[in-house]
Chains A and B, each alone.
Chain A
Amino acid sequence: MNDDNYAHGQDPGDSPESVVNEAEDAELDALLARFGADYHRPPDIVPREEMWHEIREQGELRRSIRRRPIWGVLVAAGLLLGVGIGIGVEVHSRVGPHANSLAQSAPRNVSQDSHQVAVAVVPSSREASGDTGAAPDSRHLQPLPTAPRVAANHGTYAAANSAPGSSGNARSQAYALATVRHFTAVEALLTSYQTESHDARGDAEMASWARALLSQTRLLLDSPAAADPARQRLLEDLELVLVQMTQLSPANTPIDREMIDGSVRHSDVITRLRTAVPAGVATHLQ
């Protein structure tokens, strides 16, 4: 037996097991000659245009989904940036003749209560009166017991309920800032959801966007940012809405969408988000 025989399925060896019954083989060849071409015979006309249409549509959809995870990166980067800015603001506020002594005298064991901080951009009386010579730690701190409140168009962040110069102060500010950024991003998503048309591509994009924000929401829920009860409730409600939105798909029925709409309405999250992030802050944070 030569290699060609082997190639055609004939036995290349001499062992009893592999001895080929040539009659059977000829029979098989005859069958194949008669009916082989009928095996799963494709149609004469290939549905080129229909398949091309699908390829274009699916390809574009997948590209948009691949692009969308950038939202996750952006949101994560935003959170990191927020934390960084918060720490940077605090460090910057310490720069001065008293910085070293303040750092040395700062209490080492900061109470967890210091995390109950809202972003408070409220001018102290000295700053308002133009007195900028005071040490940063002497500014008036405005306690904010509820959701973050921000006085727009002012660049100084102050932490409430925290000891001046404490390390927890910077951390709290950072979390508060990150939370405000996150709320802004979620508000953008919910606004888009309400205003954009619901087609297959849009649903996939929304679901992907919601997944990224859901991760950040859960991170914030597990962080000191959720120490404030009102903020925690808002984050929990957002989590519920975002979980529903991650399920968005072309297979959704109007009832599925109505459930999402109902959650948004019922928890009034958009209004609460807008209250937590007053106008102007989003721009200010960028």
Chain B
Amino acid sequence: MTAPVTDITSARSERELVTRAGSGDPAAQRDLYDRHVDRVYRVAFRLAGDDDAARDITQETFIRAFGRLGEFRHESALGTWLHSIAVSIALGALRKRSRMDKRHVPLDAAADVGANDNHADVDLREQLHAAIDALPDGYRTVFVMYEIEGFSHQEIARTLGVAETTSKGQLFRARAKLRESLKHFARDRQ
């Protein structure tokens, strides 16, 4: 039964780190950063789709987190809390970008790609990725976190501040839209 002891020790040390980091200790902040930055950056990249945006989201996440560590009540894992900040920032950035970026492909247009461009050499990968890109941000966030990054519904729910059933419902609808979007393409391939 060493694992639970290790977990408790780890949780205790993280709690101490959070306290020190919250009081402005740069070494503690760096330690927390090193522990969590990779996963935060990965999620940010998956949602944003490019390195610059992922960096901005990650940086903003840690800047905000370090400024608010005093508000962190250890009711969830620090990683979950960081992810909730990151996803919130990412969704805000995506909303801003989608307002400005007319290249954003609407879902119907993504479906049309498969319908109109049914050549044998159509890239399956491109098709799938375009369909995911075309999902509404809320659906896409849950879809990416669950299907691609391997978060559980419990983690997603805590991260997004929603019920687990909401997370499951979002995933269901995301998959339904993807199926619809890819239906033409799948039919053409058969």
Contacts and interface: CB of A to CB of B under 8 A. Distances in A.
A31 to B, nearest CB: 5
A27 B147 contact: no
A31 B46 contact: no
Contacts of A51: 37, 41, 55, 58-59, 62
A258 interface: no
Given A9-B175, A40-B47, A32 B41 contact: no
Interface string A13-41: 00000001100110110011011111111
Interface string B47-59: 1110100110011
Contacts of A54: 55, 59
B153 A52 contact: no
B59 A55 contact: yes
B37 A58 contact: no
B55 A6 contact: no
Interface in B146-182: 147-148, 153, 168-169, 171-172, 174-176, 178-179, 182
A24 B183 contact: yes
Contacts of B168: 3, 6-7
Given A36-B147, A40-B47, A9 B59 contact: no
A88 interface: no
Contacts of A20: 176
A55 B30 CA distance: 10
A42 B37 contact: no
Interface residues of B, number: 43
Interface centre among A21, A32, A38, by most chain B C-beta atoms within 10 angstroms, is A32
Dominant secondary structure of chain B at its interface with chain A: helix
Interface in A239-279: none
A106 B26 CA distance: 64
Interface string B38-82: 100110011111010011001100110011000000000000000
A46 B37 contact: yes
A10 interface: yes
Given A9-B172, A31-B124, A58-B59, A40 B33 contact: no
Given A7-B153, A32-B147, A36-B147, A42 B128 contact: no
B11 interface: no
B89 interface: no
B122 to A, nearest CB: 13
Contact of A9 (B30, B66, B176): B176
B103 to A, nearest CB: 16
Contact of A62 (B48, B63, B174, B179): B63
B132 A39 contact: yes
26 contacts: A8-B171, A25-B175, A25-B179, A27-B182, A27-B186, A28-B175, A28-B178, A32-B148, A35-B129, A36-B148, A38-B129, A39-B132, A40-B48, A42-B42, A42-B45, A46-B41, A47-B55, A52-B30, A52-B37, A54-B55, A55-B59, A58-B59, A58-B63, A59-B66, A59-B67, A62-B63
Closest 6 A-B residue pairs measured CB to CB? Answer: A9-B175, A42-B45, A35-B125, A40-B49, A24-B179, A40-B46
